[in-house]
Structure 1
Amino acid sequence: MRVGLSIGLARYQPLYKDALDWLDDADKALYTAKHKGRNTISTALSHAVADNVSA
């Protein structure tokens, strides 16, 4: 039996409005890792941080 592992990481930032925004970024990172293939880790750049940088 082979087991693959995909991990999505999102570091908490004070700019998140609530925990759901944080969870949303982690979820997006997880699906990015899944699309890249097995045994992949993907980290998220917070949309909250990105929105603040572009403003």
Structure 2
Amino acid sequence: MTEAPAPQSPADLTVPEGACGTRAALHAGLAEFLDDLDAHWHPENDGPFPQFAPA
């Protein structure tokens, strides 16, 4: 069995037609997590280490 690639953005988290409520809740939670991660990822990587920014 081949595995699907990991979602890279909330747009990749479409709930399959006919999915149960648990699966829909899982997708909603993962989308929220990815949004939060993206919101915190860039400021933490871009701000504290200006010496490593591309010239």
User: What's the TM-score, normalizing by structure 2?
Assistant: 0.40
Structure with max Cα Rg: 2
Higher strand share: 1
Higher relative contact order (CA 8 A, sep 6+): 1
- In terms of fraction of residues, the more helix-rich structure is 2
